[in-house]
Chain A
Amino acid sequence: MLKKIFNTLGLVFVGLFLQLTLGEMISIQGIRPDFLLVVVILIGESKGKFQGELLGFLIGLVADGIGISMLFGLSALSKTIAGFISGFLRNKKSSMGVFYYYFIILTIILIHFIILFTIYYNSAQLELQYIVLRYVLPSSLYTFVVYVLVDNIYPRKNRVS
């Protein structure tokens, strides 16, 4: 039990560390992958909806606390939803097939970024089309690539509760 808690906390801190250390270094035209979202999805798909949404909320609060200057609580909102939806994928990968599974993951990432960017840029008088093409899609694809890499590197057996 204790090992599982430390495993999860370790994953959260690794995600935070990577976001703060690499976030800016590997950004392309201001687009950076969301390592914290990857962590939330990994937790959600391995531990279920309850832990996914709870940790999604807490991780989102931390992200809001250290990286956002406006709309405190926005990352918490988007990551709670991402954690909750990814909880539906618990133990489903083998029955679903890899491509269908990854398609759902990409959809979760897209939903997360649509919520995040459309609310954040609401007051900036930008067109929705521009927000989606300039921010949502590139950020989603970049984060998805990171997710696929992590999913293939980080052994699944370590994550399944």
Chain B
Amino acid sequence: MFKAIYDFCYDFAEYLLFGILILLAFILIFSGDSPQVHKLQGNISDTFAFLTFPKNFIKKTTNLIQENHELRRENLQLRRKNADLMDASKENQRYEKMLGFQDSIDFVVVPARVINYGNMSVGKALMLNVGTKAGIQKLDPVICPEGIVGKVVSVGDKTAIVHVFNDINFRLSIRFMDSRLLGILRPIGSGMLQVSDIPTTAVIHPGEQVVTSGFSDIYPPNIRVGVVDEIQHSETKNYQIATVKPYVQLKSLEEVFVILDY
């Protein structure tokens, strides 16, 4: 009996292994939210993060001279702007005091370097050089000075994987800044984002700023997302569709901030 089973397994080892591996792959796919799977993903990104070193080294070296020139120019501009902003800040403080507002958003952030982005044929993910050792946790929001970047989906000890806003499966609760209208943002490819199902009665206009709504458990409110590029009507003319151009250019992103608390 056992010999027959052994012979069967031996003869069909390739097919049995195939079945087991397919089953394992499906288990992994359907256990996407399990902490063990996230831990496994974190460990893999930790282990193979060193392979991104040559690319980052080349990128850094080639960009250094150009970056230096740009920074000098930017420095001059910023010095000039700084004086203006000091005035504006004082004025703002006065107004806030008058209106009884408090600065309710006080982020605790960890700076991180982007060590890998979008090299695989499917999916868009950023790999950061910080992990649990820096206090990063799953679902921490990731931003940069220009605006929203995404959220952490898996964390290793030294690396974290970020689900970025232009991934086809990304969704974000947003608010149109002027009209105060709420919506769900999703990417449509070619680097643009879209908010559909906007009532025809709503008045939104190209150039209007889009920010996070604050209704999500993940993202704090009023993080810059993008600007309305175009308004279209749906085929049935019952709704409007807004195309949004994001502020953040992920391809050139080098440093980001992970929000630990807000």
Contact = CB atoms under 8 A, between A and B. Distances in A.
A66 B123 contact: no
A54 to B, nearest CB: 7
A25 to B, nearest CB: 8
B21 A69 contact: no
Contacts of B120: 19, 23, 32, 34, 63, 66-68, 75
Interface stretch (B45-53, B73-81, B83-91, B104-112): B45-53
Interface string A1-38: 00000000000010011011101100100111110010
A19 B119 contact: yes
Contact of B41 (A32, A65, A134, A139): A65
A61 B186 CA distance: 27
A54 B127 contact: no
Contacts of B47: 65
B28 A76 contact: yes
B123 to A, nearest CB: 4
Interface residues of A, number: 57
Given A65-B40, A67-B125, A70-B123, A53 B118 contact: no
B168 A120 contact: yes
A71 B44 contact: no
Nearest to B166: A30
Interface in A37-79: 37, 48-50, 53-54, 56-57, 60-77
Interface string B22-62: 10111111001000010011011101110110110010000
Nearest to A33: B121
B69 interface: no
B260 to A, nearest CB: 19
A59 to B, nearest CB: 11
Interface string A108-120: 0000010011011
Interface stretch (A92-100, A121-129, A152-160): A121-129
Interface stretch (B156-164, B198-206, B227-235): B156-164
A117 B14 contact: no
A57 B22 CA distance: 9
A13 B163 CA distance: 25
A37 B14 CA distance: 19
Contact of A57 (B24, B32, B43, B55): B24
A80 interface: yes
A120 B123 contact: yes
B262 interface: no
B254 interface: no
B90 to A, nearest CB: 42
B54 A17 contact: yes
Interface in B193-213: none
A50 B20 CA distance: 12
A32 B48 contact: no
22 contacts: A16-B48, A17-B54, A21-B54, A33-B121, A48-B14, A56-B21, A57-B21, A60-B25, A62-B44, A65-B45, A66-B120, A68-B122, A69-B125, A69-B153, A70-B32, A72-B32, A73-B26, A75-B120, A77-B29, A116-B122, A121-B168, A124-B169
Interface of A: 13, 16-17, 19-21, 23-24, 27, 30-34, 37, 48-50, 53-54, 56-57, 60-77, 80-81, 84, 87, 113, 116-117, 119-121, 123-124, 126, 134-135, 139, 143
Given A69-B161, A116-B122, A119-B29, 5 more contacts: A20-B116, A60-B25, A69-B153, A80-B22, A87-B14
Interface of B: 13-14, 17-18, 21-22, 24-29, 32, 37, 40-41, 43-45, 47-49, 51-52, 54-55, 58, 116-125, 127, 150, 153-154, 161-164, 167-169, 186, 189, 251
Query: 10 smallest A-B Cβ distances: which pairs?
Result: A65-B44, A73-B28, A23-B119, A67-B120, A77-B25, A69-B163, A68-B123, A69-B125, A49-B14, A73-B29
